[in-house]
Chain A
Amino acid sequence: MVVGYWRLAGITSGLACAAGALQAQLLVRAALGARHTSTLVHDSIITPFVLRPALAPALAVTAATPLDERWTAQVTLDFSTSTLERHDADGTTTGLGRVSTLAFTVGLRRPLGAGFAAGAGVGGLKYLPAGETGIFRSGAGGVLGLAGAVVSYAPPRVGGRWQLGIEARYDVHRFITPALRSEGFTSARTVHRIALALRAGRGGAAGAAGAAGAAP
């Protein structure tokens, strides 16, 4: 009975230590900024026109943990929302309703020195239209493959525990919807997105921050 008690206590304290170590290694960052998205659809009926989302607010939340002194593994959830717009050749712009995107990426990041860091990742992106109309009348077409990169700068000793910084995020995916296929589009279009954001992070502890190069 006594032996069992001490064994249980040992296991419990061991788990507590492991959890504490994991917590100390985990860095959580949030970045809020603006995103530009390139053309989703280029079509021509009498005259050419394009569809693309308007400049969108973008929020990214990243959880990262150092793998060694240079590399950090991270997962990022990214959301942005804006109006889908049709831009006609005569300069007119027509709003076609709200469209949001939710992206999930896993990747690696490493410091470059002087407060800079760079990372890359892959994942998936889902379009979330407000209604099933227009190019989304038959749905958004599932999760699209995504590849991206991020460059960040965190000035040393700015923001204290909040690790303030700025970052530029770029990603690329291929876009097509079932309605566009029905219309006669036979292949997807390459879509580029770039976001500039201010970010803040917590966690990682001093040791982890040092391992990740001040966690840029």
Chain B
Amino acid sequence: MLACSEPTPPSRAGTYGFEAGGDVFHWPAERLPVRFYAQPTGNLRFLVQHAVDSWAGVFLYGEFRGTLVADSTGADVIVQADSVPDVPPDPGAPVYACNEVTAVPPIDTNNRFTEPFHIRVAVLPGFTPAQVAACLRRTTIHEAGHALGLFQHSPDPVDIMWGPSGAAPITADGPSDQDRRTVELLYHTPPTVLPPP
């Protein structure tokens, strides 16, 4: 029943970069849960909740938790969109039917972000609502990853944090093993930037 030796911690080799210009950021334990506000447009709240759950679910040791708040005042991450179709996502091959961008806030002289992160969602024309929904589902997880502190893109297309160039869609449905290892490493790395007040 008893072994002679205890298990050794697993190797976590295989990560991609997460810092931006030498700056490392992650939400500190005392700021959890991170407060996400989703503009009440279509099913944007569901997409953001899904993204938060996707990231929280990869952590083993409670390093990150997020919650949706009803008021943008005091939110840590604000997600906005002009329109979001409230339909089931298309199960077919991913297409580049949406575009999102995360605005990382400025840093003050105390190495502290001055305002919340802003994520902007845009729907591209010429696609079915289901194709747009599928694109938004993946891309919202990707952008939430930036708001968690993953400031770089992965070079591997199987990762949710893959950074496609041009009009190529993200193809991963959620964080991969390499995404998980990278975000774990990030959340155990001492940050150089403080969260917004």
- Asked whether A42 lies within 8 Å of B9 as measured between CB atoms, the reply is yes
A residues within 8 A CB of B29? 92, 94
Q: Is A71 an interface residue (CB 8 A)?
A: no
Q: Is A137 an interface residue (CB 8 A)?
A: yes
Q: Is B2 an interface residue (CB 8 A)?
A: yes
Contact-residue bracket for chain B: 20 to 34
| A184: contacting residue among B1, B11, B59, CB under 8 A | B11
Q: Is A172 an interface residue (CB 8 A)?
A: yes
On whether A174 and B3 interact (CB within 8 A), knowing A51-B61, A183-B60, A184-B10, the answer reads yes
A residues within 8 A CB of B7? 42, 176, 185-189
On whether A180 and B3 interact (CB within 8 A), knowing A45-B185, A46-B185, A185-B10, the answer reads no
Q: Is B92 an interface residue (CB 8 A)?
A: no
Q: Is B57 an interface residue (CB 8 A)?
A: yes
User: How far apart are A132's CB and chain B's nearest CB, in angstroms?
Assistant: 9
A182-199 interface (Cβ within 8 A of B): 183-190
- Asked whether B188 lies within 8 Å of A45 as measured between CB atoms, the reply is yes
User: How far apart are B140's CB and chain A's nearest CB, in angstroms?
Assistant: 21
| Chain A interface main SS type | strand
Q: Is B184 an interface residue (CB 8 A)?
A: yes
Q: Is A168 an interface residue (CB 8 A)?
A: no
Q: Is B111 an interface residue (CB 8 A)?
A: no
On whether A44 and B60 interact (CB within 8 A), knowing A174-B2, A190-B3, the answer reads no
6 residue pairs, one from A and one from B, having the closest CB atoms: A184-B10, A45-B188, A46-B188, A96-B62, A44-B9, A187-B7
Mark B residues whose CB is within 8 Å of A. 1-3, 6-7, 9-12, 29, 56-57, 59-62, 184-185, 188-189
Mark A residues whose CB is within 8 Å of B. 42-49, 51, 86, 92, 94-97, 133-135, 137, 145, 147, 172, 174, 176, 179-180, 183-190
Interface contacts beyond A96-B62, A97-B62, A190-B3: sample of 18 additional A-B pairs, CB < 8 Å, sorted by A:
A86-B62, A92-B29, A94-B29, A94-B62, A134-B59, A135-B61, A137-B60, A145-B1, A172-B2, A174-B1, A179-B60, A183-B60, A186-B7, A186-B10, A187-B3, A188-B3, A190-B2, A190-B6
